[in-house]
Amino acid sequence: MAQRNQIKLGFLGFGEVASTLSEGLLSRGVQVSTCLEGRSQRSVELAKSTGVDVFDSLTELVESSDILLSVVVPAEGVSVAAKVGGGGFDGVYVDLNNVSPGTVKEAFSHITNGKTVDGAIMGGIKNGLGTPIIASGEFAADFAELNQYGMNIEVIGTEPGQASGLKMLRSAYTKGVSALLFETLYPAYKMGVDEVLLRYLNQTEGPHFKEASISRLKSSALHAQRRAQEMSEVHQFLSQYEDPVITPATEEFFHNLLDKIGQIPEKPADYREIFDKIDEKMTRRPDFQKVGINK
């Protein structure tokens, strides 16, 4: 028999985030459901293999949920909120999409009766239920109740926009560093001193720097397109506060990287493979001056 106070969680969108969180939450007794109306075969399969309850309509999902988590694609965060709408939903509505504070507020303008919470996933969800999530807004603590079921939610403020904004600031920093790593390590590779540069940087930047840098280079290459788009949003966001210089350059850097290496299918085993691809493209340029020891 179902427990009287069993928490009912509804997912809007059922991709990687929803399926990963569902697995952990179901095993801890949370009642998890979604609606697959209009969804692709991939989402249908994910929901089936995870074993969540599936409602035929969005209305039924909304009516039966205490908490709704919006985990669609960033471009659909507002339209999904508009579909949920004012109506009778007076539960907790959490937007976990990678969007700017402005977009979060636009989405929330549609949820007139719900208790809205701005949330941001801080890292890859592959790490499971314990992946750090930050939350802000008047009702963020209601969302953080899910910590008793193994989630890792930190309430960072009372205003909507603080969580999504903080995630953007973190992105500006991490992607900016990644771009700078490329810009310095590639010439070092051409000069035959990339290993030495990494060793010296490790001395100033601390342990694990080399390992973390190599991982960043590889994932930057794999996700160049997504990073370029993300930096465009971050650029707009920062422009509300200051005249950003590094972030627009990072945006341009990722566009250029994509242009040089194309969309690669998977993470390269060695970062030098990326540099070799860049090299191929560079050497074909009419203005290219051949320098370096490696090439």
Q: Would you count residue 124 as binding ligand NAP (CB under 6 A)?
A: yes
Q: Would you count residue 73 as binding ligand NAP (CB under 6 A)?
A: yes
User: In the complex, what is the shortest distance from the CB of residue 170 to ligand NAP, in angstroms, rounded to a whole number?
Assistant: 11
Q: Record the tokens describing residue 195, joined without a space.
A: 């290993």
Taking the least distance from each CB to ligand NAP, the nearer of 61 and 198 is 61
- Residue 89 phi/psi, 5-degree rounding, is -75, 115
Q: Record the tokens describing residue 220, joined without a space.
A: 């930057």
Task: Tell me the per-residue interface mask from 132 to 171 with ligand NAP, x by CB under 6 A, - otherwise.
Answer: ----------------------------------------
For residue 253, the Cα-to-chain-centroid distance in whole angstroms is: 19
Distance, in Å, from the CA atom of 80 to the CA atom of 18, rounded to the nearest integer, reads: 15
Is residue 45 within 8 Å of residue 18, measured between CB atoms?
Answer: no
DSSP 25-51: HHHTT-EEEEE-TT--HHHHHHHHHHT
Distance, in Å, from the CA atom of 239 to the CA atom of 172, rounded to the nearest integer, reads: 12
Amino acid at 223: H
Q: Return the residue of 43, 100, 136, 213 that touches ligand NAP, per CB under 6 A.
A: 43
Residue nearest ligand NAP by beta-carbon distance: 15
Q: Would you count residue 98 as binding ligand NAP (CB under 6 A)?
A: yes
Q: Would you count residue 119 as binding ligand NAP (CB under 6 A)?
A: no
For the chain, the first-to-last Cα distance in angstroms comes to: 70
By CB under 6 A, which span of 25-33, 120-128, 142-150, 214-222 interacts with ligand NAP? 120-128
User: In the complex, what is the shortest distance from the CB of residue 208 to ligand NAP, in angstroms, rounded to a whole number?
Assistant: 21
Is residue 153 within 8 Å of residue 180, measured between CB atoms?
Answer: no
Footprint on residues 52-71 left by ligand NAP (CB under 6 A): 71
Is residue 75 within 8 Å of residue 13, measured between CB atoms?
Answer: no
User: In the complex, what is the shortest distance from the CB of residue 108 to ligand NAP, in angstroms, rounded to a whole number?
Assistant: 15
By CB under 6 A, the count of residues binding ligand NAP is 24
Distance, in Å, from the CA atom of 168 to the CA atom of 239, rounded to the nearest integer, reads: 12
How many other CB atoms are found less than 10 A from the CB of residue 108? 20
Q: Return the residue of 62, 68, 121, 224 that touches ligand NAP, per CB under 6 A.
A: 121
Q: Would you count residue 182 as binding ligand NAP (CB under 6 A)?
A: no
By CB under 6 A, which span of 6-14, 139-147, 149-157, 204-212 interacts with ligand NAP? 6-14
Continuous segment of H or E residues that includes residue 95: strand 92-95
- Residue 72 phi/psi, 5-degree rounding, is -95, -145
User: In the complex, what is the shortest distance from the CB of residue 202 to ligand NAP, in angstroms, rounded to a whole number?
Assistant: 28
* Strand 132-136, strand 115-121: pairing: antiparallel
Q: Return the residue of 7, 14, 181, 218 that touches ligand NAP, per CB under 6 A.
A: 14
Footprint on residues 18-37 left by ligand NAP (CB under 6 A): 18
Where on the chain is the footprint of ligand NAP (CB under 6 A)?
A: 12-18, 39-40, 42-43, 71-74, 76, 79-80, 96-98, 121, 124-125
